[in-house]
Structure formats: structure tokens, C-alpha cells
Chain A
Amino acid sequence: MKKLLFLLIVTLIISSCVPAEVQPVNPDYIGTNGIQEYKLDNGLKVLVIEDHKAPLATFQIWYRVGSRNEPIGKSGISHLLEHMMFKGTPKYGSKEFSKMVKRKGGSDNAHTTKDYTMYHQTLASDRIDISIELEADRMQNLILDPKEVAAERNVVMEERRMRIDDDPQNSLYEEVLAAAFKSHPYQSPVIGWMSDIVSIERENLYNHYKAYYSPDNAVIVVSGDVKADDIFQKIKAAFGDIPPASGRINVTSKEGEQKGERRVTLKREAELPYILMVYHTPSFPHPDSYALEVLGTVLAGGKSSRLYKSIVYEKKLAIGASADYSGFNKDPYLFFFDATVAPDKDTKDVEGALYAEIEKIKKEPPSEKEVQKAKNQIEASFVMGQDSIYYQAQVAGMFELLGGWRLKNEYLENLKKVKPDDLTRVANKYLTEDNRTVGILIPVKVRGEK
């Protein structure tokens, strides 16, 4: 899901300033105005998007809590709580919700990020009532049985081993983030450090749950073959009496300006060296976020993009090279570059080639056509994404969490205005030596196959 999610949120734009041979997309199809908004007295926000092409509906509930909100020593608590949300209430036992959804032919899952936790189900639209009833139930009545906590903690430790500890490139990612952030909680991994996961007890989870799982800290988005007013009435009946909560900590940490390059190395069993570099950048809706988004696509949007053409195709230094601006965050985050070094090539040459591409765009703006291509890619991606009701709901939810779903239109409008000069300007402003953290994975042989 993580890759898909990313694809979805990095790729929102509609372009109108298109060259003569390309006609603009009919705005009726975009559906930006198809969102209906409601708010309950207890603070719960509800967004509904009607789309009647298929008899299906997606229900998503977003809580404004993620690793950003975690105290030192308890990293991973939001994610472990997310797991526990499937472990039952007095009315519906452990995994009962998932089993009910499956029995109706639906799918369900949840994910936790730095900034939010989201639960979702996709079902035949005449069965979406079970989402409403059971999400309302587990917002208030989670059991958090200590025995179940102990078992699920083990599951999460296995998850960490699989995702991070046994994956050299993901391990480097964790190292680089921890080095790039000193004072902001973005330094901790969403899944948590192993020693923190071990230490999380029922009481910690309960307090976290009580503080963050409340209607005034949540947004519901429903999309698909539903009637907005009907759905709202049902949500009101199920969630309306849940009181708002208190006890949330206002995250005030700010990352200070970085004054000098930071480098980390990781030596472990691996086959090929790998480079991951990050630069601090502001997040949406900062005025520079639009140019950074287009810059990411110019650098790494497909096989005709700069990094692929130069580093992978022409110089053959890497088997893959990529760049990505990660702008949809509560607080300022990062612009990423990475490359897997080709066999028998020098890591230094790959690092140098990445810097050469950065310097190139700092000196000379890309052509109008190159910028237009990037905008066209983002636009087409967005239009094609509208075919998925899950995606439609996700886009609405994401913008709502960043300040309001209407920001989507602002975002799309501002992307259109990005000019080639803007890319050069933001590259000079943010992609500087002093502002970067560089991580290098150095493979060492521990043992071979037996």
C-alpha cells in the first residue's frame, strides 16, 4: 500500500496551460466539486463523494495521530494501537470486523504514517452500513486486553524484522532519517525502534487511544455508489453521541536549520551499494511546494526523465536512480534522491553523477517542453486515478488533514503556474550541500549459501 499511496498523493494536478496540440481535459470529469461536506456537533467531519459507476463504496476514517505525536521512548505506539484496533470490543470480538467485511465480499486494512492513521473498507455499497456501525464501536469501546497486547507486540516485532531489519536498503532509510532530524519527531520510524516496541504496555496504549481516537480528531470520507444525505444521517446516528476528547499534546517541535552536510554509513550483508540522500524542504501548502513537485517529476518521472537518462541509461552507473519530493506532511519534511549502484561501479561516481544533475538544473532552467511534459504526466495520472473510488476518497482525506479538502483546487491551480525558472530557483534554495544528509550502504559479506 505504501507505494500506491504515495503515487496517489504525489500526482495531483490538472494542467490548463497546455500546448496547442493537446486539448484540455473536460473539467466535468475531474469531480473536484463532487465533495459534500458535513460536520457533527462533536467535531466529526464527514466528506462524501458520489460515484455511481459501480455498485461499490469505500469508507475511510482518518485519525490525526501518527509517529509525529509519540513521546520519546514509545515510538511505534500509534502503529501498535492501529493493530490493536482489530482486536475487538465487548460487542465484536477480535478480528470480527475484518471477518464480517470479508463475508460480505469486502476488503479492509489500515495504515499508519508519521502524521495520521487511516482505516478503510471497500464493500458492495448496500453493505457499507457495517463500516459505519463497527467504526463507531471501535472508536469508543476498544478492549485492549493485556494478553492480546502482548501477542500483537510480537507480531509487530516480526513486522519490523521483515520490513526493516532484514532489508538493507530500508535499514539505511531509517539511519538517514534519524540523522536528518534532531529535534523533530520525524526522526523516529513509524513502526518504532525495537526497544520501544517491547516497552509499550496496555496502559500506554489506552492513554494514547483515549487522547487521539475521538470524533473531534477524526475525518470520515465515503466515496462510491451512495447517496450523500443518507450516508450522513447514518453516520450521525452512529457517531453523534460520542463525546470529544482532551489530552492531546500539541506538537511544537521544529527542526532547526541544518548547517553542514551530515553523512551516515551502514555496513551489513548486502549485494550492491546504495545511496540515499535527503534535503530539508517545506511541506504543502508552502509556496515553493509546487515547484518542488514538478522538479521531482522532471528529475525522475519515467524513462525520459533526467536521472534515468543520464545515470542509468547513458552512464550505466546505477541500476536504478530516483528523486522524489515528499510534500504532503504536517511539518517540513524532505526531498529524496536514491540510487542502487550497478555491479563493479564506484559509489563515489554515482554520488557525483547525482550532484551533477542537481547542479545542472541549478544553472539552467529546464525547457518549457520538459516542464510541460511533467505537468502532463501528473495530470494524466490524476485523471486515471479517478477511476478508483478508494483514490478519490484518499485525495479528499489527505487534503482535509492538511488544512481542508478545498486546498486540492488551490494545489492544482498553483501547479499549473509553475515556470521553468521556478525549478532552478527552488533547486538553488533547497538542494544545497549544507542542507543535505547522505547515507551510504556498504555491503559486507557475512556468509554465503550453503
Chain B
Amino acid sequence: MRKRIAISHELSAISRQKTKNIFLGLSVVLLLIANCCMLYADAYALDINKKILPNGLTVLHSEKHNLPIIMVTMVVKAGALDEPKEKAGLAYLTADLLDEGTKNRKSSQISEEVEFIGAGLGASANSDYTTITLSVLKKDVEKGFELFSDIILNPVFPQEELDRKRERIKGSLKQREEDPSFVAARSFKKEVFGEHPYARLMEGSEETLSGITRENLMEFHSKYFIPNNAILSVVGDLTSDELDSLIKKYLDTWKAADLPERKIHPVSEEKTKKVIKIDKDVTQATIIIGHLGISRDNPDYYAVSVMNYILGGGGFASRLMQTVRDELGLAYGISSSFSASQGKGSFEAEVQTKNESANKVIEEILKQMEKIRSEAVSDEELSGAKDYLIGSFPRRLDTSRKIADFLAAIEFYNLGLDYAEKYPGYINAATKEDVLRVAKKYLDPENFVLVIVADQKKAGLKY
């Protein structure tokens, strides 16, 4: 059920998610890797213990004894990048069905056992990888690990569960057509990424879902869910010895296998302007403007982070929010972001404004993109962005859940365990010239994809 008891001043990442089913337990908000990798070492030293087991599993461990809780995150390198186009949704379905039946337990037994100890156990896939998480009280950690290992090592993907899940995903895709933001984002990805896997919804489509068989899932699982293709991150009230014995007991039978190779998908760099208009009976136009962006390993990532903060990433400190909301009163929320993944991601600015103001707001976004490409940012803007990016780090690691997800992510993207100490240096190194240079290089106010979901007659788009 959607909770509607409070409405906030500024849109936050969490309130934006229209989660339908409330699940008791901590809501696990997965870290958006692109924006999260910041660490303020002086204020926040993490004691991380890393080792690689004989079966190839990378283990990261940090002890936190403030509460009797343990947060576990496993990242498996298996995502949309690894599925064939005609089987889009395979990675998503595989993750979603892990806890729907194993060699040892039926679907209903798993949820009953997990919920009886008040634990949280779940899995989800994104373009680059699959994440399996466990949140459990210390007193139930044995049971928690047993269930966690069972769904990763022994899922059987019952045909009945596959059929059931497939129908529900189709239903949910249909329902999400009601959300203009979803409709716009789907269209935007498709236009920006073309044939690349990043173009697709993780859930696939009605058509590709129908073509996925139980054998596909078994095969995908046995090929990718191997220890030498995975990272285990454990944070909380657990000593090294205790962790070692849990691993020995529950993950020892996990055998290494040949590491699957990840195919490199080329993405078309062709530069053209595309305008997609989708007509809907709505009072507001939902607008996304953007184009290809950068990958996570791009050395300009940090300068881009600073530049985007000033343009539209910094909430009320950003130029887009300042002009479109505060000065013009034309929107409640407006922001821009770079999603930096293993492959090249996207840059996008998104906003909702009443149909009649659509042209005005688009004009303002393009104006701001042009401005940051042609004029250096002010000293105050530069230092404000840096102070925020560096100073906000401790908040991003203020719970064991956040730390567990963070450790798995920095390992996956090869950022190094000393990322914490290095991050302030990376950000501080960005000069005004760098900001101008990356704005010129990675923003294009002429060749972009513009998607507008609106009452097109009222919007009367000029573009």
C-alpha cells in the first residue's frame, strides 16, 4: 500500500519510489552506485577486512557492535548485460525467483522461515549485476545464513512459480503505464541506448517474458552464480571467527567454475536530435532531456560529479532548481543526473510541469546546459559543490546496511579499499577549468533525446 500520510518539502529519492507493497522490515534502498561513491576518510574510517577464499569468493567484512544486527550483501556479476536481447528480463526473473523454491524448501516455507525471525531476504538485478541481501538479528544469524545460502546455491525455479511471477510482472508493467514518469523513462532509455542492453527495462517486455523458460533460468543461474563471480559483504555484530565458521558451514559446498566472459556491447555514438511525444490525459507534462553520458571508470567521473551538482544534482543549491522552481515557480521537482555504470550510461534532466509550461521549462533546461558549457562556474558554486560532495559522505555510511552495500559496490567497480581516503582528493582536484571542460564534452544542448509525456494539445511543443 502506498503510504500517503506525509508530504515533503523536497522530493527525496525514497519518496519518489511508489512502492506498492509495504514489507515489514527495513526497506532496503539499494545504493545508486553512480552517485554514492563518496567517502570522507578523516571523519569516518572503516575497518575493512578483505580476503579471497579458495573457491574464488571475495569476502569483505567490517565489524560494528553498536546493535545486535547483521547486514549481508552479495553481488553476483550477472545482469542485463549478460542476457540475449530476445530474453530480456532473464536476469531480473532469475533474481526474483531465487527465493521461490530450492532443493530444500518450497516458496512458502522460505517466506515463513524468513519472516518468523523478522529477517529481510531479497534479491534483485540491475544492468550490471545481481544483489542478494540479508538483514538479520544477531541471535538468528545461523538461520539467516542458512536461508541466504540456500536461495543462492540451490534454487530450482519451479515452473509453477515462473508462470505465476511472469503474470504478475506483466500485470505490474501494465499498471505502471499509469505513471507518466515510468512511461517517459522507458521511452528515453530506448532512444538513447538503441540496441544496447541499457535500452531495456530490467523486467523485459510482455513479449520477451513469454519466451523465457525454466531451462533458461537454470542455465543462467548455473553459469553466473558461482563463487569466483561474486562478492560477499558482511557488516555488523559479527567477529571474523564467527563469519569464518558461518561461511564454512553454509558456503563451503559452493564450487568455482569457469568464469563466464562478459560480452562488450557497442553503443551507437550517432548524434541526432530526437523528440518523442506521448499523449496522455494528464495535467502535467513529464519531460526528460538527455543523451549518452559516461561510464563509472571514466577519469572525468569526479569533475562530472561536481559539474552536475551545480547544474541540477544539488537540490536547492543547483541552478535548475534555483531557476525553474524558486524563480519561476514552474515545478515542484527538477534535477539532472549522470548514471555511470560499467558501460557508458546516460545524462538526463527530468521535470514535471503543467502542460502549458512545457516549452518554457525545456527552454530553461537547454539554456542552463548551454550556460555551464560556455561560462566558468563561480568560486562559490565550485566550493559549495566540493564541500557537499566531500562532507556528505559520512551520512552515506551511517548504517550497517549502507556500509554493506557500499563495500560490495566499491569492490565491483574496482574503486579500491582505500577509496575512502582518496575520494576527497579526487573531488578537490577538479578545477573550474575541468568543470567547464567536462560540461563541454559531456553535455550537448543540440543533439539530445527529448521525451515528453503530456496532453500534447495543451503542451503545444515547439521542439
A residues touching B (Cβ–Cβ < 8 Å)?
1-7, 11, 22-23, 25-26, 29, 51, 53-56, 79, 82-83, 86, 94-95, 98-99, 102-107, 109-114, 122, 124, 150-159, 161-163, 165-170, 173, 190-191, 268-272, 297, 300-305, 308-309, 312-313, 316, 319-320, 322-324, 326, 336, 338, 340, 342-343, 369, 372-373, 376-381, 383-389, 446-450
Contact = CB atoms under 8 A, between A and B. Distances in A.
Contact of B392 (A86, A107, A167, A322): A107
Interface stretch (B166-174, B222-230, B238-246, B433-441): B166-174
B315 A380 contact: no
B331 interface: yes
Nearest to A6: B3
29 contacts: A1-B15, A5-B6, A7-B27, A54-B394, A95-B322, A102-B387, A105-B392, A111-B9, A124-B391, A124-B394, A157-B354, A158-B352, A161-B352, A163-B7, A168-B178, A170-B4, A271-B178, A304-B116, A320-B20, A322-B20, A340-B175, A342-B171, A343-B170, A380-B118, A381-B25, A384-B135, A384-B401, A387-B400, A388-B399
A446 B281 contact: yes
Nearest to A343: B171
A381 B44 contact: no
A89 B6 CA distance: 25
A7 B137 CA distance: 18
A148 to B, nearest CB: 9
The winner among B44, B139, B390 for most chain A CB atoms within 10 A is: B139
Contact of A377 (B25, B177, B329): B25
Given A1-B15, A82-B9, A302-B24, A376 B281 contact: no
A399 to B, nearest CB: 16
B9 A110 contact: yes
Contact of B7 (A112, A151, A324, A377): A112
Contacts of B67: 29, 383-384, 386-387
A107 B395 contact: yes
Given A7-B24, A387-B401, 20 more contacts: A2-B6, A3-B17, A94-B326, A102-B387, A114-B5, A124-B394, A165-B283, A166-B282, A166-B283, A271-B175, A271-B177, A302-B23, A343-B170, A376-B116, A376-B118, A377-B25, A378-B24, A380-B118, A381-B24, A384-B137
B26 interface: yes
Given A5-B5, A313-B164, A447 B280 contact: yes
Interface residues of B, number: 97
List the 3 shortest-distance A-B pairs measured between CB atoms, nearest first: A105-B391, A380-B118, A154-B329
Contacts of A158: 284, 329-332, 352-354
Contacts of A83: 9
Interface stretch (B107-115, B148-156, B290-298, B364-372): B107-115
Contacts of B139: 22-23, 25
Contacts of B390: 105
Given A55-B43, A161-B352, A383 B4 contact: no
A56 B118 contact: no
The winner among A112, A156, A313, A449 for most chain B CB atoms within 10 A is: A449
A7 B120 CA distance: 14
Interface in B101-148: 108, 111-112, 114-119, 135-137, 139-140
Interface string B12-25: 10110101111111
Contact of A166 (B20, B180, B329): B180
B8 interface: yes
Given A103-B384, A376-B117, A3 B284 contact: no
B288 to A, nearest CB: 14
Nearest to A382: B118
A98 B1 contact: no
Contacts of A301: 23-24, 115
Given A25-B137, A173-B4, A312-B168, A103 B330 contact: no
A167 B178 contact: yes
A156 B332 contact: yes
Contact of B279 (A3, A162, A447): A447
A54 B329 contact: no
A115 to B, nearest CB: 9
A221 B270 CA distance: 54
B459 to A, nearest CB: 12
Interface in B383-439: 384, 387-388, 390-395, 397-401
A1 to B, nearest CB: 5
A52 to B, nearest CB: 9
Contact of A381 (B66, B118, B322): B118
B284 A155 contact: no
A152 B379 CA distance: 29
Given A102-B314, A376-B118, A450-B278, A319 B172 contact: yes
B22 A388 contact: no
A320 B21 contact: yes
B281 A269 contact: yes
Given A3-B19, A376-B118, A269 B280 contact: yes
